[in-house]
Amino acid sequence: MNDIIHDYLLKHIPKSTPFFEELEVYAKEHEVPIMEPDSLHCLLQILDIQKPERILELGTAIGYSALKMADKLPKTEIITVERDEERYKEALHNIERYGASDRIKVLLTDAIEGSEEILTYGPFDAIFIDAAKAQYEKFFHIYTDSLAPDGVIYSDNVLFKGLALDMSPEKQRKLRVARKMRHFNDFLVTHPDFDTTTIPLGDGLSISKRKKTGGIS
């Protein structure tokens, strides 16, 4: 996106409250990856339109995006998964401070190895994938069946700082994750059961919805 347009859009995103500003500063100082403000704002707007009753988030980190979703959707239950124990504890702390423990459940487990437990909390109206980038396609395969009929899968970081678009042999040999992400994007757009669009905000946000069946012939 043109830098002038990007800067213009960023200036029109509402300013964070002191609580979320604190989390943003913490994430920056401790190099904790959180969603870019423009893609997060877009995700929250779409979720507000969708009004999901239950969301599955793969990749809690410090609880920032889960809390943002809870703030936007006060009637929504969020199941979020984190495999790093230190970040898990930090997320629990932040969620308790915010008073959202009754609506956000954090599971300390791996999204692949712990999938059997995670799936017991389904079905989910929305699934937000923001965990190990090289495993996105596996996540999609594992959790598709737990998606409600009109549910939506959101995947963050699909452009991977633009590296997923660079297919030069030098870059692809060095950047296995970028190659995996490019394959995931191809997988999404050619999936026989889902329609996917990618929004070039932040680090790239893809939106996948199950195709409608039947209709007038």
List the end-to-end C-alpha distance of the chain, in Å, as a whole number.
39
Tell me if 193 is assigned to a ligand binding site.
no
* 8 Å CB contact between 82 and 60: yes
Tell me if 185 is assigned to a ligand binding site.
no
Tell me if 111 is assigned to a ligand binding site.
yes
Tell me if 157 is assigned to a ligand binding site.
yes
List all residues 6 or more positions away from 15 whose beta carbon is below 8 Å from its beta carbon: none
* 8 Å CB contact between 188 and 196: yes
Q: Which of 76, 124, 127 minimizes the C-alpha distance to 100? A: 76
- CA separation for the pair 58, 37 (Å, rounded): 19
Phi and psi (nearest 5°) for 180?
Answer: -60, -40
* 8 Å CB contact between 49 and 73: no
* 8 Å CB contact between 150 and 211: no
Tell me if 35 is assigned to a ligand binding site.
yes
Tell me if 110 is assigned to a ligand binding site.
yes
Binding annotation for Mg(2+): 130, 156-157
Binding annotation: 35, 65, 82, 110-111, 130, 156-157
Binding annotation for S-adenosyl-L-methionine: 35, 65, 82, 110-111, 130
